[in-house]
Amino acid sequence: MDIQGNAMANLLYVDNSNVWIEGMHVAAFKHGIAPDVWTAVQNRVCDYSWKLDFGKLFQFAGGDKLQVKKAALFGSRPPQNDSLWDAARRHGFDVVTYDRNVANHEKKIDTDIVATMIEDSFLIGDPAADEITLVAGDADYVPAIEKLKKRGYSVDVVFWGHAAKELKQAATRFINLDAHLDLLAR
């Protein structure tokens, strides 16, 4: 709700690989596989038993489906038999996927999230009535957040506690997912 009591709509953008992989690092620490999150990140220690629940993420980061004007999930194209993206669609996300490059690295995801947030801020958003929520932890998003805030948008960042310091500072509000690890699990 805004100051006048009007219902605000949310535009929700999720970097799937970023939130999922970093969540496995947080789970590795929480479940005693790594001594702390930074060790898990630096040494690529993951708790592969932790699985992200898209419906729970949608509800946690986006709110009630009636309040979500758009929810978009971005990531790398999975194998043909992967049900990941179908699950995301069933839970209300528009899914955008890209093939990995020849070195098997994810490309185009961050750039498309930024481009889509900016485009949507003009085409479907209203800075007086809508807020933007980004589920990602990279400092690469800081310029886009600053531009969206200049346009009058409130921009929340929802991510694990080890998100980039600059990103946390740029956000209108930062919401730390660490305490919600179990809530967000399948």
- Inter-CA distances, 30 with 26, 34, 162, Å: 6, 8, 14
CB 131 within 8 A of CB 157: no
Please tell me the predicted confidence (pLDDT) of residue 103: 67
- Residue 32, in any domain of the structure: no
Residue 46 lies in a domain: no
What's the DSSP call for residue 172?
Answer: S
Question: In this structure, is residue 92 part of a structural domain?
Answer: yes
CB atoms within 10 A of CB 97: 15
- Domains in the chain: how many in total? 1
Per-residue DSSP letter, 185: B
pLDDT at 1: 39
Whether residue 23 is contained in a domain is answered as no
Decide if 165 is inside a domain.
Answer: yes
Structural domain boundaries, residue 153: 9-16+52-180
Residue 76 lies in a domain: yes
Residue 160 is part of a domain; what is its CATH number? 3.40.50.1010
What pTM was computed for the model? Answer: 0.87
The per-residue pLDDT for 28 is: 96
Helix axes 109-123, 142-150, angle to 10 degrees: 10
First-to-last C-alpha distance (Å) of the chain: 30
In a domain, 42, yes or no: no
Whether residue 123 lies inside any domain: the answer is yes
- Enumerate residue ranges in the chain where pLDDT < 70: 1-7, 64-66, 78-85, 87, 91, 101, 103-105
* 64-87 per-position pLDDT tens digit: 666 888 888 888 776 554 666 676
